[in-house]
Amino acid sequence: MTAALAERVARVTGRRVAGISPLAGGSVAKVVLVTLADGGWVVAKLGAGLEPEAWMLRYLASHTVLPVPHVVHADDHLVLMDHVPSGDSITPAVEVHAADLLAALHGTGWHSFGAERDTVIGGLRQPNPPGRHWVAFFRDHRLLFMARQALEAGRLPPALMGRIESLAGRLERWLDEPERPGLIHGDCWGGNVLARAGRVAAFIDPALYFADPEIELAFATLFGTFGDVFFARYGEHRPLRPGFWEARRDLYNLYPLLVHVRLFGGSYVGQVERVVGRFAG
Active site positions, annotated? 187
Buried b (16+ CB within 10 A) or exposed e, 178-194: beebbbbbbbbeeebbb
Rounded Cα distance between 217 and 115, Å, is 19
> DSSP string covering 161-201, please?
HHHHHHHHTTGGGT----SS-EEE-S--SGGGEEEETTEEE
Neighbours of 70 (CB within 10 A): 14
Q: Which of 56, 170, 37 is nearest to 115 (CA)?
A: 56
- Phi, psi angles (nearest 5°) of residue 183: -75, 135
- Strand intervals (E) in 23-92: 30-36, 41-46, 71-74, 78-82
Neighbours of 221 (CB within 10 A): 18
